Amino acid sequence: MTAARSLALAGPDAPVRCLGIDLESIERFNLVMKPGGRAFFDRVYTSGERASTSGNPLLLALYYTAKEAVAKALGTGLDLSGAAAVSGRDIEIRWTPGEERPAVALWRGAAARAEQMHLSDVVVCWEHTPRVACAIAVGTDCPVLLASLVAALREALAALPLSGSAKCASDDTLVGL
């Protein structure tokens, strides 16, 4: 992120109430198709997410980074122990191919935490390269800021030291899933 963008986010009148970011290896989500990943799949993803991701590692990684980014924006991170009060299934990611970004529904601990923070909405933007999925969650509905965040995200992903043909994906890549 450039210095100018950082200042825009951090200034006294900045529209960002909270922010979370997460980045994961897509290959890591092949785990879900193995016996050792079944419990993770069942406990972290909602039934709707399990159906819509269809075991696709890219979608599983994107949904997971979105959840983790939202959990970080809520100041907790994901947990299954109940200690942080926000579990994977408390943050539901909804996305239909063709949509620019996913919608977020908060339940139970996540909804309570958002209410505690007086947060009416959390917006998620996501991107991916062939190897890495990344998501940013922000407590804002400012379209200019969101566009700036997406640009910063693409910039950051493009700068990752990936070999071969790896480069930042466009929205068209997601649409084509």
Partner 1 sequence: MDADISTSFLAKLADVFEVDATTLQSGLSLAERWDSVAVLATMALIDEQFALTVAPDELTRCTSVTEVLALVDQRVGLRSPGR
Question: Residue 53, Cα to own-chain centre: how many angstroms?
Answer: 14
Least Å distance, CB 131 to partner 1, is 15
Judged by CB, which is closer to partner 1: 53, or 140?
53
Identify which range of 20-28, 92-100, 112-120, 136-144 contacts partner 1 by CB under 8 A: 20-28
Which of 6/25 has CB closer to partner 1? 25
The rounded distance, in Å, linking the Cα atoms of 61 and 69 is 12
Contact 97/73 with Cβ under 8 angstroms? no
Distance in Å, CB of 172 to partner 1, minimum: 28
**DSSP code, position 159:** T
In whole angstroms, what is the distance from residue 85 CA to residue 77 CA?
9
Best CA proximity match to 70, nearest among 121, 25, 108: 121
Choice from 3, 4, 51, 81 touching partner 1 (CB under 8 A): 81
Site string (30-69) toward partner 1, x via CB under 8 A: -x--xxxxxxx-xxx-------------------x---x-
What does DSSP assign to residue 83? Answer: S
Among 78, 125, 149, 174, binds partner 1 (CB under 8 A): 78
Q: Is 90 in the site for partner 1 (CB under 8 A)?
A: no
Residue 42 C-beta-side C-alpha neighbours within 13 Å: 6
Q: Where are the beta strands (DSSP E) in the chain?
A: 19-25, 91-94, 103-106, 123-128, 132-138
Contacts to partner 1 by CB under 8 A = 22, 24, 28-29, 31, 34-40, 42-44, 64, 68, 77-83, 88
